[in-house]
Amino acid sequence: MKKLILFMLVASPAVLFAQEKYVIKGKVGSVNPPSKIFLTYSADGKRMSDSTAIKNGAFQFSGEVKDISQATLLLDYKGIGIMNIDRKSKQDVVSVFLVNGTTTINSADSLSHATVTGTKVNEDNVRYKTFVKPATDAEDALTAEYYAAPKEKRETKEFGDYIDKKDSVIGVQSKELNKQFIAANPDSYMSLQALRGMGGPYPDPNELQPVFSKLSPSLQKSAAGVKYQTYLNTLKAVAVGAMAPDFAQADTNGKMISLSSFKGKYVLVDFWASWCGPCRAENPNVVKAFNNYKGKNFTILGVSLDRPGKRDAWIKAINHDGLTWNHVSDLKFWDNDAAKLYGIQAIPQNLLIDPSGKIIAKDLFGDDLEKKLAELFGKI
């Protein structure tokens, strides 16, 4: 199910390599202690958190980050601490960018209904979210429809096909809206965000490069623009028809296994993780394909994006799901070196490589994987 692909938690191109001295001033109704406001963001691959008291609805944050950084403000009404808030309940949050200047947050009742003004990046972010809202609302409704269905229904092929068909329509709508926003805002930092929205979980560099090339020269030459171009170059290097870059990581016994050691076979490089629900849901399809074609010069190399210290969870998932092929991981979560080499920013994701080492297909899920293998080896 494409709808349930998991993305990196922070996928925005938030890098301009200039010190950003930010101030956030807020007013949310007449909220008072023990309520607190939390500010969370990523810096140098680490999750950062700050908090402040809120008195008569007023609060303020200030600080310095080396890059424009996407952040989240969360209102802890009970003052129990961010780690103790029920993750399953709806949280009162608003997304902002930490950027030079003063950003103002204002609402009569909640953060989720706040207006965000005062800095161009944040005002452009509001305009961007409003522009693509028809697609995001449709995506949210489809997700709600999926989870509202009984488990038995969700597991049927008919319902999966129905959801995927609707998701494809929404994907086309989202892509077009993002493209329109970029065309109308070629100098906006948020157009780099829109490019990622346009690309979705499986970006096509040949489609995105011409759009990126129409951005203003100043945005293209900014550090954020240069970083995005580098990302596109990475995707081009692992496109269908390219030779698969080699890598080596430790297997479950600590032995180093290289991709090149499988040369001479068809190999499916499968990026997944034990914590990834959509990956685990896809695993039965992968198991079926492996069992059907493992005697046909075909094998699989699983590359896990499991977290540091979670080796046991990784191995437990392999055994539980019956994944009887080679598995490797450096246990670096989204910083997995092989994942970065292949530009992986969403999972599950896979690549099919032929005996010469050339990439011949990508992102084969469900029936698509079975059909491709049948095309290569004949139906079982």
pLDDT digits (tens, 9 = 90+) for 204-224: 999 999 999 999 999 999 888
Q: What's the whole-number average pLDDT of the chain?
A: 91
Give which of 273, 256, 344 is closest to 307, Cα–Cα. 273
| Beta strand 256-258 pairing with 58-65 | unpaired
- What is the model's pLDDT at position 176? 96
- What is the model's pLDDT at position 291? 96
pLDDT digits (tens, 9 = 90+) for 68-124: 889 999 999 988 888 877 766 778 999 999 999 999 999 999 999 999 999 999 999
Q: Using CA atoms in the order 338, 342, 343, 347, what is the torsion angle rounded to 10 degrees?
A: -70
Give which of 57, 42, 54, 96 is closest to 73, Cα–Cα. 96
The C-alpha angle with vertex 96 and arms to 94 and 102, in degrees rounded to 5, equals 120
Long-range contacts of 91-97 (CB under 8 A, 24+ apart): 95/70, 95/71, 95/125, 96/24, 96/70, 96/71, 96/72, 96/122, 96/125, 97/14, 97/68, 97/69, 97/70, 97/71, 97/121, 97/122, 97/125
Query: Do 212 and 232 touch, CB atoms closer than 8 A?
Result: yes
pLDDT digits (tens, 9 = 90+) for 263-272: 999 999 999 9
What are the sequence ranges of the domains in the chain? Answer: 22-118, 122-238, 242-377
Query: Do 275 and 312 touch, CB atoms closer than 8 A?
Result: no
Look up the CATH architecture of domain 242-377.
3-Layer(aba) Sandwich (3.40)
Pick the CATH number of 22-118 from 4.10.280, 2.60.40, 1.10.3470, 1.10.10: 2.60.40
Which whole number is the average pLDDT over 310-338?
97
Q: Does 11 score more than 60 pLDDT?
A: no
- What is the model's pLDDT at position 54? 95
- What is the model's pLDDT at position 7? 53
- What is the model's pLDDT at position 319? 97
Q: Does 288 score more than 70 pLDDT?
A: yes
CA distance 32 to 16: 36
Alpha-carbon distance values, 206 to 168, 185, 235, 341 (Å) = 20, 21, 9, 18
Q: With H, G, I as helix, E, B as strand and everything else as coil, classify residue 371.
A: helix
Give burial (CB, 10 Å; 0-12/13-18/19+) of 325.
middle
Is residue 13 reached through a cis peptide bond, with omega within 30 degrees of 0 on the bond before it? no
Query: Do 310 and 368 touch, CB atoms closer than 8 A?
Result: no
Highest mean pLDDT among 139-153, 158-172, 329-343: 329-343
Alpha-carbon distance values, 139 to 37, 127, 166, 207, 298 (Å) = 29, 19, 9, 22, 36
Tell me if 22-118 shares its fold with 242-377. Answer: no
- What is the model's pLDDT at position 5? 58
Tokens found for residue 136: 């995001």
Q: Does 16 score more than 80 pLDDT?
A: no
**pTM (predicted TM-score):** 0.82
Query: Do 253 and 285 touch, CB atoms closer than 8 A?
Result: no
| Beta strand 20-28 pairing with 101-107 | parallel
CA distance 142 to 144: 5
Beta bridge partners of 243: 358
Q: Does 157 score more than 90 pLDDT?
A: no
